[in-house]
Structure 1
Amino acid sequence: MTEFDFPAPPASRPLWLITLADLALLLVGFLVLVQAMGAERRPALIDSLRAEFGAATPLARAAPTSVPSPIMPVAAAALRFAPGSAQPIDPDPDLARWAKAALADPRMRLSIQAATDGSAADVDPVTHSPVVLAADRARAAAALIGPTAADRLTLSTATAPGQRRAVVSLVFSGEPRRKSP
């Protein structure tokens, strides 16, 4: 018997393709399981997964008043404030130049997220409202930027423990909408 007497092996798929398909099915099965668990049990699952992957603390649940993060932040600059004040401590003199250069790309926007720390001292002196003070901080940051970003600027306010700040984020917003002819 010679080597030419053996039948040719049947054509088959590469091994990596079978492994990739198995992995995709496992992922789909996991996502179906998570979806079937219900919203009330999902946070416990997320915390246990984080613990298994070595996270030191469980995922902090965002309060409805927490500072929302931009969809896709690209770069950011922060301004700090004294308690009860809407005047920035050491404002960045290059903030307006940075914003103008960043907004040269029409796909970019600026998002200003201002926050108060939630303490009794960090409120607007006239209205005693933390929301009004956070809005004043956002407007102060917008004033430092100037009219460069007037049509591509989003302001938001929040109460975030220990954070008397305004964060100016450069956000990728995608291609601008085209006007139909």
Structure 2
Amino acid sequence: MTAIAYPDPPAGKPLWLVTLADLALLLVGFFVLLQANQGIDRSALARGLREGFGVVTPDPAPLPVAADGVFDFAPGSAALPRSTAAIAQWASDAARDPRVMLTVTGFVDGTPADIDPATGSAALLAADRARAVAAALAVTTKARIAITTSQTPGRRAALVTLAFAGERKDRP
């Protein structure tokens, strides 16, 4: 079949204009959907739309407010170098507010001497340091405690950070 045998396209609007109008109508419909749901929790609607498109976003990180309790550890050790009574009292007082979360960060300095003696892992030693402080805090504090690790040159420590995590319905 030759090109001459094809029929002429019908006269009318260009195809791109129809597509643009469809897109504009979809956008208007989306805004109507958002405005029509005044009684619905908007964060739940946004979360549902994100999940519908396959986007999974974690909850926002707590906002750090204060830090205390820097414990300086010996190289290769996760044994607490001093008493945790003062930091435990500070954390207990701060954790009375249910919106508060504590983060304990364990640090290693990155040198060959600052590793876990049993496994040779610096990350495991940092986690052990953070867990030792968190365990001491958990005895006196009913706060939410998160544990993180870090490798920072020249720092063999554990740091307790107080953060405002906000009000959440799923948090006890």
- Smaller-chain TM-score bracket: 0.5 to 0.7
User: How large is the RMSD of aligned CA atoms in angstroms?
Assistant: 2.2
| Structure 2, unpaired ranges of 5+ | 1-60
Structure of greater Rg: 2
Alignment of 1:72-83 (within 5 A): 72-83=64-75
| Structure 1, unpaired ranges of 5+ | 1-68
Q: Per the alignment, do residues 160 and 70 of structure 1 end up closer, same or farther by CA in structure 2, a change over 3 Å counting?
A: farther
Counterpart selection for 2:98 from 82, 90, 106: 106
Q: Is residue 96 from structure 1 mapped to residue 88 from structure 2 by the alignment?
A: yes
Moved over 6 A (4+): none
Match of 1:125 in 2: 117
Match of 1:155 in 2: 147
Query: Alpha-carbon deviations, 1:99-126, whole Å to 9, x = none?
Result: 1111000110000111100000000000
User: Does the aligned pair in 2 maintain the 1:70–1:111 contact within 8 Å?
Assistant: no
How far, CA to CA, are the matches of 1:96 and 1:159 in structure 2?
A: 25
Query: Alpha-carbon deviations, 1:81-103, whole Å to 9, x = none?
Result: 00000012223322222211110
How far, CA to CA, are the matches of 2:170 and 2:119 in structure 1?
A: 43
What code does the residue aligned with 1:123 have? Answer: I
What's the TM-score, normalizing by structure 2? 0.58
What's the TM-score, normalizing by structure 1? 0.56
How far, CA to CA, are the matches of 1:178 and 1:124 in structure 2?
A: 36
Task: Give, in angstroms, the shift of residue 151 of structure 1.
Answer: 5.8
How far, CA to CA, are the matches of 2:111 and 2:170 in structure 1?
A: 46
What code does the residue aligned with 1:129 have? Answer: S
Q: Per the alignment, do residues 106 and 123 of structure 1 end up closer, same or farther by CA in structure 2, a change over 3 Å counting?
A: same
Q: Per the alignment, do residues 128 and 178 of structure 1 end up closer, same or farther by CA in structure 2, a change over 3 Å counting?
A: closer
Q: Per the alignment, do residues 119 and 75 of structure 1 end up closer, same or farther by CA in structure 2, a change over 3 Å counting?
A: closer
Percent identity of paired positions between Structure 1 and Structure 2: 41
Q: Per the alignment, do residues 149 and 176 of structure 1 end up closer, same or farther by CA in structure 2, a change over 3 Å counting?
A: farther
Query: Alpha-carbon deviations, 1:123-164, whole Å to 9, x = none?
Result: 000001001100100110012112455661110011110010
Q: Per the alignment, do residues 158 and 126 of structure 1 end up closer, same or farther by CA in structure 2, a change over 3 Å counting?
A: same
How far, CA to CA, are the matches of 2:101 and 2:88 in structure 1?
A: 14
Match of 1:176 in 2: 168
Query: Alpha-carbon deviations, 1:46-76, whole Å to 9, x = none?
Result: xxxxxxxxxxxxxxxxxxxxxxx96323232
User: Does the aligned pair in 2 maintain the 1:100–1:149 contact within 8 Å?
Assistant: yes
User: Does the aligned pair in 2 maintain the 1:95–1:144 contact within 8 Å?
Assistant: no
